[in-house]
Amino acid sequence: MAISKILHINPHMNSETYHLKTGLNYITKSEKTMNGLYVGAVNCMVENAYECMRTTKEIYGKTDKRQAYHLIISFEEGETNPETAFEIIKEFVNRYLADNYEAVYSVHNDTNHIHGHIIWNSVRFTDGYKYRYEKGDWERQIQPLVDEICEKYGLHTLEQNKAKDDEKEWDVSKNGPFVWNEQIKKDVDECIIMATDFDMFIQMMEEKDYTIKYGKYISVKPKRMERFRRLKTLGENYSEEIIRKRISQKSIAGYKSIDMPKGLRIKSYRGHIRKKRLTGLQKQYFAILYKLKKIKKRSYSNNYKYKDDIKKLNILQKQYLFLSNYDIETMEDLEKAQELIKAKIQTTNKAKKILIEENSKHKEIFKAVRTIKKEKQAAAFYKLGDKTFEKQNNLVEEARKILKCKELTYKEAEKLEAYYQSLIDECNRTIKKLKKDMRISYGILNDIRYREQKETLRHDVAKQEKITSRHDVAKQEKITSRHDVAK
């Protein structure tokens, strides 16, 4: 049976493709692949795969963000040999990637179980579109294709293995050591392949429903097993020290798993933090405190009842400050204030336009400053001997030449850019405040007109009621006089 796991390769903080190159170097190591015997590539050569992938990104202008994808396919211990595993990996690459992507693949046989690696460019060489991993692609496309190829070569598939696992559950009362040892070893090997450090290894074991116990030796217990089992009893390659060593030798710390579950994130005044769930012991502790009346439930807030009133109060406060700042007492004063605000906005916009024109005259200098700021760390790595950053070093050298021609140091140019930017930002803040004042003035004007209309309507209604009342009195008097005459 082969289990696949897809990871993505992110850009490095100083060089977008640093992790890509590191990953390619790792999967093609001679000591892991029988001196390169189990290494292959499609749409590029193994020797220049990194340069090909990087050139493709530059051609389509997509050198940032996700750089590549890394698929790991691991086989059960003793299930297959390196030659068959290599043929399976090769067929998967040809069927899934060969039409659009540059890819490098290999098989590592330096561990107890054979596993394969595939790294492919995130950008298609055919049309420049990026590979998109959607939720559910692993279940719908990747693992089914792996299963299909494994079945072709006479290996068990994931579905068949699940059926076997279900059969084992009927025999859990016996706790057969052979069955459980092999199952635990398989899960441990799988987690070692995918973990970037020992903490992540423990987390992944817990996600597989293992209970971990710490002591002199680490012990684990599957969900349906009655007793803990020390990892070191599984063999010489399963002690804590060896497991840590096996994880560190992979050196894939720059990768991030796509489908690893992420914890809920909540926003706080210091940024984003993970929201941790209470453990069973913590829940019991808080339940006891509640029963002892040491803590109380938070009462429901009634703030929603006053939401509209608070909103109106805020509007009135802004209107009052506006009237006070512009010394407005009459409608004429309000109209004058509006004209003044419009004039100030036009003046500030003209000043901003002049500043932008002046700023554009130094465009070359400011571009050089930003280049040095972005690439100086990579240039430092190049000077220390890392030829990966040659392009970044050349960009920094060109930028420094530009500043030298302008007779400016880097710090002087940086200060000049900051000075112009501060003036433009100040203009933007002024315009934003003036536009806000203009909106408040229109709000006041609308309120005044609304009140005038309401007062006029009230006056008209009162006048109409008065006229109607007079008619009713006159009519009643006329009817009364007729009655008197009749009598």
pLDDT digits (tens, 9 = 90+) for 293-302: 666 666 555 6
Provide mean pLDDT across the span 54-83. 87
Place of tokens 């005459």: 485
pLDDT, tens digit, for every residue of 367-417? Answer: 999 999 888 878 887 787 777 788 888 999 999 999 999 888 988 998 988
User: Percent of the chain beyond pLDDT 90?
Assistant: 20
The vertex-412 CA angle with 406 and 415, nearest 5°, equals 125
Higher pLDDT, 165 or 369: 369
Provide mean pLDDT across the span 11-17. 77
Place of tokens 């400011």: 366
CB 86 within 8 A of CB 116: yes
pLDDT at 250 over 90: no
pLDDT at 251 over 70: no
Query: Mean pLDDT lowest for which of 47-51, 304-308, 371-375, 448-452?
Result: 304-308
Banded pLDDT at 346 (limits 50, 70, 90): very high
For the chain, what are the domain ranges? Answer: 1-159, 172-261, 305-458
Q: Quote the pLDDT of residue 135.
A: 77
Q: Which two tokens stand for residue 411?
A: 């710090």
Q: Quote the pLDDT of residue 259.
A: 41
CB 1 within 8 A of CB 148: no
Higher pLDDT, 192 or 277: 192
What fold does the segment set 1-159 form as a domain?
BirA Bifunctional Protein; domain 2 (3.30.930)
Q: Quote the pLDDT of residue 261.
A: 40
* Distance in angstroms (rounded) separating the CA atoms of residues 35 and 101: 25
pLDDT, tens digit, for every residue of 16-36? Answer: 788 888 889 889 988 888 888
Q: Quote the pLDDT of residue 274.
A: 53
Query: Mean pLDDT lowest for which of 31-45, 260-274, 304-318?
Result: 260-274
Query: Mean pLDDT lowest for which of 146-160, 314-328, 344-358, 444-458?
Result: 146-160
Q: Which two tokens stand for residue 252?
A: 């894939």
pLDDT, tens digit, for every residue of 460-478? Answer: 888 888 888 777 777 777 7
* Distance in angstroms (rounded) separating the CA atoms of residues 410 and 194: 44
User: Percent of the chain beyond pLDDT 70?
Assistant: 83
φ, ψ of residue 465 to 5 degrees: the values are -65, -35
